């Protein structure tokens, strides 16, 4: 995978995303640079995931959101309670037995800090660093057998925490964050991709799938944001369906390396689309 450094403005050191996330955009930031608006004061990111775009742009203000409750609880705790999170993380150990024990815990019975700590632990030690849930919303990735893996870079976590203090954090469907938009805001939309083929799906970030209906609802939201006077940029797969959905807008092809996909056809370099209204 190509690694691009993301700048931390507070100390001039690279700011690394704290978690690995399927579909994360760190590897595409270099290709995105000429596509971002020249100035971004207020960013709205309703499909936040690993937050590569937010951490790169480091706007003065932001609304960040995602449908994954464990993910957004994690960011809230990183922002508001980094000391307690780091203390809790230290009790975890890297063994197969312990991993499955932590995986089987019910997050709804835990404190926010314990949930965030469990989330980070599973993200680090799951196979491929993957966070994937089944239709009941339960994490279902097997143990990854990673020796000598550091659970957390404390210094980086504190810098991420400081950066997140500029953001309002929401959890829910993308429409929730879009209720808050105002003219002039920059909205980056990075939904689960429309599958290239029936066998190339990765739609299990959350219990609810993101199907054709959701893609249509999102395209309508894109048009509404355009009418409202927002600058909108959207990533998606390069398929006849996505090209048709956004016909009339600026379409740019970028090249991505797929790294999280169990199907061999999903590996290697592929073309993806960036769609913009500016
Ligand atoms: C392609 S990933 C985003 C990756 C992110 N840009 C990054 O750099 O890591 C898509 C995200 O959409 C979230 N998601 C799925 N369905 C959603 C919905 N209906 N509303 C909002 N977020 C949703 C998933 O949890 C996932 O984090």
Res. 203 pLDDT band, cuts 50 70 90: very low
Of the CATH numbers 4.10.520.10, 3.40.50.720, 3.40.50.150, 3.90.79.10, which one belongs to the domain with range 26-82+160-276? 3.40.50.150
How far does residue 21's CA lie from ligand 1's centre (Å)? 9
Lowest mean pLDDT across 7-16, 106-115, 144-153, 162-171? 7-16
Strands 268-276 and 250-258: antiparallel
* Distance (Å, whole) CA 123 – CA 144: 10
**Could you give the angle at the alpha carbon of 28 between the alpha carbons of 43 and 128, nearest 5°?**
105
Task: Tell me which fold the domain 96-155 belongs to.
Answer: Adenine-specific Methyltransferase; domain 2 (1.10.1020)
Query: Which is more confidently placed, 268 or 126?
Result: 126
Q: Please give the number of the atom of ligand 1 that sits closest to the Cα of 68.
A: 25
pLDDT digits 0-9 by tens, 144-154: 888 878 888 99
Residue minimizing CA distance to atom 18 of ligand 1:
173
DSSP calls for 172-218? S-HHHHHTT--TT-EEEE-PSPPPSSTTS----SSSS---HHHHHHH
- The tens digit of pLDDT for each residue in 79-107 reads 999 999 999 999 999 999 999 999 999 99
Ligand 1 atom index nearest CA of 235: 1
**What pLDDT does residue 130 have?**
79
Across the range 157-167, mean pLDDT stands at 96
DSSP assignment string, 176-188 = HHHTT--TT-EEE
Ligand 1 center to 202 CA (angstroms): 11
Which of 54 and 10 is assigned the larger pLDDT?
54
Q: Which atom of ligand 1 is nearest to the CA of 17?
A: 9
- Which of the four pLDDT bands, split at 50, 70 and 90, describes residue 77? very high
Q: Give the pLDDT band of residue 195 (cuts 50, 70, 90).
A: confident
Q: Which residue has the higher pLDDT, 75 or 138?
A: 75
| Structure token digits, residue 93 | 């150990």
206, 219, 261, best to mutate for ligand 1 pocket (most atoms within 8 Å of CB): 206
Q: Atom of ligand 1 at shortest distance to CA of 21?
A: 9
pLDDT at 70 over 60: yes
Share of the chain above pLDDT 90, in %: 71
Alpha helices per DSSP H over the chain: 29-32, 52-57, 69-80, 82-89, 96-104, 112-125, 154-164, 174-178, 212-228, 240-245
Q: Which long-range contacts (CB under 8 A, 24 or more apart) does 135-144 make?
A: 135/207, 136/207, 137/206, 137/207, 139/70, 139/103, 143/96, 143/99, 143/100
Q: pLDDT tens digits for 223-274?
A: 999 999 999 999 999 999 999 999 999 999 999 987 544 444 446 889 999 9
Averaged over 130-159, what is the pLDDT? 86
Q: Where are the domains of the chain?
A: 26-82+160-276, 96-155
CA of 140 to the centre of ligand 1 (A): 18
Mean pLDDT, the chain, whole residue set: 89
């Amino acid at each position: 995978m190509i690694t691009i450094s993301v700048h931390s403005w507070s100390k001039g050191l690279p700011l690394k995303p704290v978690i690995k996330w399927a579909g994360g955009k760190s590897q595409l930031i270099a290709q995105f640079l000429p596509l971002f608006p020249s100035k971004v004061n207020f960013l709205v990111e309703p499909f936040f995931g690993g937050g590569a775009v937010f951490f790169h742009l480091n706007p003065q203000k932001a609304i960040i959101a995602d449908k994954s409750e464990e993910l957004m609880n994690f960011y809230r705790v990183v922002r508001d309670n980094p000391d307690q999170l780091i203390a809790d993380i230290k009790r975890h150990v890297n063994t197969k037995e312990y991993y499955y024990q932590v995986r089987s815990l019910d997050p709804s019975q835990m404190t926010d800090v314990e949930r965030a700590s469990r989330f980070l632990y599973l993200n680090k030690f799951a196979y491929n660093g993957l966070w994937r849930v089944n239709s009941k919303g339960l994490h279902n990735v097997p143990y990854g057998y990673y020796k000598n893996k550091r659970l957390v870079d404390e210094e980086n976590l504190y810098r991420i925490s400081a950066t997140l203090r500029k953001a309002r954090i929401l959890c829910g469907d993308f429409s929730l964050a879009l209720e808050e938009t105002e003219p002039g805001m920059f909205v980056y939309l990075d939904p689960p991709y429309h599958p290239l083929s029936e066998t190339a799906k990765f739609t299990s970030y959350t219990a609810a799938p993101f199907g054709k209906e959701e893609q249509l609802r999102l395209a309508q939201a894109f048009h509404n944001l355009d009418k409202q006077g927002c600058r909108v940029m959207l990533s998606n797969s390069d398929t006849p369906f996505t090209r048709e959905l956004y016909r009339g807008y600026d379409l740019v092809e970028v090249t991505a390396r797929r790294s999280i996909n169990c199907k061999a056809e999903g590996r290697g370099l592929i073309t993806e689309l960036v769609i913009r209204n500016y």
